[in-house]
Structure 1
Amino acid sequence: MSIDNFPRTLVTFTLAGIMLLVYVVNPAIAELSYIFLAPWMHSGWPHFWNNLFIFVPLGAWVENRVGWLTFLTFAIMIPYLALSAPVAFGYGELSRGASGLTMAVSGYIVPVSLTNLSERLDSISLERRELFVWGLKLLIVLYLAADAYMTVKRFFGFEPRPDGVAVSAHFTGLVTGLLWFAWRGGRHGIFDA
């Protein structure tokens, strides 16, 4: 097996490593550390694990799709935007964690996956293995779409906001991911977004 067969996910695993390092070091929350480290800080093991569980596989997929430099730019800008925009525009409070980034990746992946599915729908064979793979992909997309739907309901007050969850950062990340898909779709075509 050659090295060309391995996925190129250096950015995803580097950012996951930074999250792990910041979690282990657990710096004191001061103004300077908060400004620079807030997207990579977590409020506990469940928060850290939930973000990494979503970010690593989805981030790796997006990184392989769009390239490492494009993904690096996206993955550095979005978490800072998702945490600062709610405070700057008055619709949320200070928070921390990579949840905005994971929601942005989800917001990008759902429309990409649906357009890919619609493009290939007529060419899917009825072989058991391929049906299983497409069924699994569809379940993942449905889970991400349901999570996004819950975020929207919580943001607009149709569902209660859970304590300790930065719904405004989640919502900002989700909208940013959808906008990134729309921008890339306009630039590269809807099926190559």
Structure 2
Amino acid sequence: MVIPVHDVNPVGRTPYVTYALIAANVFVFVFMPGLAGSLPGDSEPARLCHTQAFLEQYAAIPQELIRHQLPRLVPTGELAPSGGCALGPPGYDKSPALSVLTALFLHGGWLHLLGNMLFLLIFGNNIEDRLGHVRFALFYVACGYAAAYGFALANADSADPLIGASGAIAGVLGAYLVLYPRARVWVLVPFLIFLPLRLPAWIVLGFWFGLQAVQSSDQGVSDAGTVAYLSHVTGFVAGMLLAWPLRPGTPPPPEPRGLLFGRRARPGW
């Protein structure tokens, strides 16, 4: 696994939407019940029940997305006398379609959040610069919906909460691969130590996509809900398709200068 830290691809405008998305994701995570934020005096089981109830209401549930109805019983957020989390009829109105949008701002842990925000910060600014602020916001949401419904169609019986901005950010990565395949990206490669390398985006993002495709048969699970690799794959493909018509008018990134891992970069590398 390679860790991107910076791309050599300047932008012509301030990426306000990218910054706002990062701020919103961090804000929601800090106050999300049972994870970074919890009620004073809560025990571990109580925090777990609060989290389950919160995710049931605000996360995207594949069963609900496909069947367009809520279950008869959901976690109430309270501990049951016999142990575990109490169940009861839903005490809220929920639009399954709208839950896809709210789920984009939920994360299962600090690593999940920070990993997503790192990719969004590095690659989102160039896509926002190419699309413009409003179109980028619409593009981001569209990729998130494509990722969620793509996963739900393949897992129609799943009742596990689907959370995280990963699907939408995967769309950003797919668009970046289409528009800036030769842009250089500084990455850290774990090899005894973290080895810095400057690689073309098509290698970095192609490797990332290949890894998601292989792992999509193994659905990864986060600390507090399902983060599905298949949603990454569908979001990435959606981003590629949406960005493809913009390829002809996209200016190429600047040619790199200086050293590349101890050797002077050759033209076209």
Q: Please give the range of the TM-score, normalised by the shorter of the 2 chains.
A: 0.7 to 0.9
Q: What amino acid is the match of 2:145?
A: Y
Shift of 1:191: 4.3
CA RMSD of aligned residues (A): 2.7
SS of 1:40's partner is coil
SS of 2:121's partner is helix
Distance across 2 between alignment mates of 1:115 and 1:49 = 26
Give the conservation status (yes or no) of the 8 Å contact 2:142–2:168: no
Distance across 2 between alignment mates of 1:102 and 1:110 = 12
- In 2 relative to 1, CA 136–116 (structure 1 residues): closer, same or farther, beyond 3 Å? closer
Q: What amino acid is the match of 1:102?
A: I
Selected match of 1:152 from 178, 189, 213: 213
Query: Structure 1: which 5+ residue stretches go unaligned?
Result: 118-134
Between structure 1 and structure 2, the one with the greater Rg is 2
SS of 2:154's partner is coil
- 1:10 is matched with which residue? 16
Selected match of 2:230 from 168, 172, 180: 168
Give the conservation status (yes or no) of the 8 Å contact 2:179–2:244: no
Give the conservation status (yes or no) of the 8 Å contact 2:175–2:243: yes
Shift of 1:180: 1.1
Shift of 1:116: 7.1
1:29 has 2:42 as partner: no
Distance across 2 between alignment mates of 1:6 and 1:108 = 18
User: TM-score, normalization: structure 1?
Assistant: 0.73
Give the conservation status (yes or no) of the 8 Å contact 1:100–1:173: yes
Higher helix share: 1
Query: Structure 2: which 5+ residue stretches go unaligned?
Result: 1-10, 34-53, 60-98, 185-196, 253-269
Selected match of 2:163 from 96, 119, 122: 96
Shift of 1:141: 3.7
- In 2 relative to 1, CA 17–112 (structure 1 residues): closer, same or farther, beyond 3 Å? same
- In 2 relative to 1, CA 153–72 (structure 1 residues): closer, same or farther, beyond 3 Å? same
Q: What amino acid is the match of 1:107?
A: G
Shift of 1:153: 2.2
Shift of 1:162: 3.6
SS of 1:96's partner is coil
Alignment size in residue pairs: 163
Q: What amino acid is the match of 1:142?
A: I
Higher strand share: 2
Q: What amino acid is the match of 2:127?
A: V
Distance across 2 between alignment mates of 1:137 and 1:190 = 24
Q: What amino acid is the match of 1:23?
A: F
Q: What amino acid is the match of 1:100?
A: G
SS of 1:30's partner is helix
- 2:133 is matched with which residue? 68
Distance across 2 between alignment mates of 1:142 and 1:103 = 15
- The correspondence of residues 42-191 of structure 1 with structure 2, limited to 5 A, is 42-87=107-152, 89-91=153-155, 93=158, 94-114=161-181, 136=198, 138=200, 140-155=201-216, 157=217, 160-164=218-222, 165-185=227-247, 189=248, 191=250
- 1:132 is matched with which residue? none
Q: What amino acid is the match of 1:85?
A: G
SS of 1:26's partner is coil
Distance across 1 between alignment mates of 2:17 and 2:175 = 17
